[in-house]
Chains A and B, each alone.
Chain A
Amino acid sequence: MMKIRRRELLKASAAIALAGSLPRLARGADTSGVYDLERFGNARILHTTDTHAQLRPVFFREPSVNLGVGAMAGQPPHLVGKAFLDRFGIRPDSADAYAFTCVEFEKAAPRFGKLGGFAHLKTLIDKLRADVGEKRSLLLDGGDLWQGTGLSNAMRGADMVEAANLLGIEAMTGHWEFTYGEQALRDNLARFKGEFLAQNVFLTEEAAFNDAKAFDPASGRVFKPSVIKEIGGHRIAVIGQAFPYVPIAHPKRFTPDWTFGIRDEELQKLVDGHRSNDKVDAVILLSHNGMDVDLKLASRVSGIDVILGGHTHDAVPQPISVQNAGGVTLVTNAGSNGKFLGVLDLDLGKGKVANVRYRLLPVFAELLKPDPAMQALIDKMREPHATEWSEKIGAADRLLYRRGNFSGTVDQLICDALLSELDTEIALSPGFRWGLTALAGQPLTMDDLLSETAITYPETYVATMTGGQIKDVLEDVCDNLFNADPYHQQGGDMVRVGGLAYTCSPAEPIGKRISELKLAHGKHLEAHKHYKVAGWASVNEQQGAPVWDVVAKHLRAGRPPNRDAPGVTLKGVEDNPGITGLG
Chain B
Amino acid sequence: MSIMSPEFFANRRLVLKGIGVAALVGFGVIPLDVPQALAAANDKYPEEAFKQKTEAEAIKALYGKTPEASDKVKMDAPEIAENGAVVPIAVTTTLADVTSISFLVSENPITLVASYRIPAGTLPAVGNRIKMAKTSNVIVLVEAGGKLYSATKEVKVTVGGCGG
Interface residues of A (CB under 8 A from B): 205-206, 209, 244-245, 247-252, 259-262, 265, 428-432, 472-474, 476-477, 479-480, 483, 485, 487-488, 490, 492, 495-496, 510, 535-539
B82 and A479 form a contact (CB under 8 A): no
Q: A209-B16, A479-B158, A510-B135 are in contact. Are A473 and B79 (CB under 8 A)?
A: no
Report if B35 contacts A (CB, 8 A): no
27 pairs, A vs B, C-beta closer than 8 Å:
A206-B12, A244-B79, A245-B80, A247-B82, A248-B80, A249-B161, A261-B79, A262-B79, A265-B76, A429-B164, A430-B162, A430-B163, A430-B164, A473-B163, A474-B163, A476-B159, A477-B162, A477-B163, A479-B156, A479-B158, A480-B158, A487-B79, A488-B79, A488-B154, A538-B161, A538-B164, A539-B161
Considering only residues 43-92 of chain B, those with a C-beta below 8 Å from chain A are 76, 78-83, 88
Query: Chain B interface secondary structure, helix, strand, loop or mixed?
Result: loop
Tell me, in angstroms, the Cα distance from A480 to B156 when the chains sit together: 10
B163 and A260 form a contact (CB under 8 A): no
B residues near A245, Cβ cutoff 8 Å: 80
Count of residues in B whose CB is under 8 Å from the partner chain: 21
B164 and A428 form a contact (CB under 8 A): yes
Considering only residues 138-164 of chain B, those with a C-beta below 8 Å from chain A are 154, 156, 158-164
Determine the residue in chain A with the shortest Cβ distance to B77: A261
Determine the residue in chain A with the shortest Cβ distance to B156: A488
B residues near A205, Cβ cutoff 8 Å: 16, 88
B163 and A250 form a contact (CB under 8 A): no
B residues near A472, Cβ cutoff 8 Å: 159
A residues near B83, Cβ cutoff 8 Å: 247, 252
B residues near A261, Cβ cutoff 8 Å: 78-79
B residues near A537, Cβ cutoff 8 Å: 161-162, 164
Determine the residue in chain A with the shortest Cβ distance to B19: A209
- B156, B159, B160, B164: which contacts A536 (Cβ < 8 A)? B164
- A431, A490, A510: which contacts B80 (Cβ < 8 A)? A490
A residues near B158, Cβ cutoff 8 Å: 248, 476, 479-480, 490
Nearest chain B CB to A532 CB, angstrom units: 16
Nearest chain B CB to A423 CB, angstrom units: 18
Tell me, in angstroms, the Cα distance from A429 to B12 when the chains sit together: 37
Additional 9 contacts, C-beta under 8 A, given A248-B160, A480-B158: A259-B88, A261-B78, A431-B162, A431-B163, A472-B159, A483-B156, A488-B80, A495-B164, A539-B161
Determine the residue in chain B with the shortest Cβ distance to A470: B163
A495 and B162 form a contact (CB under 8 A): yes
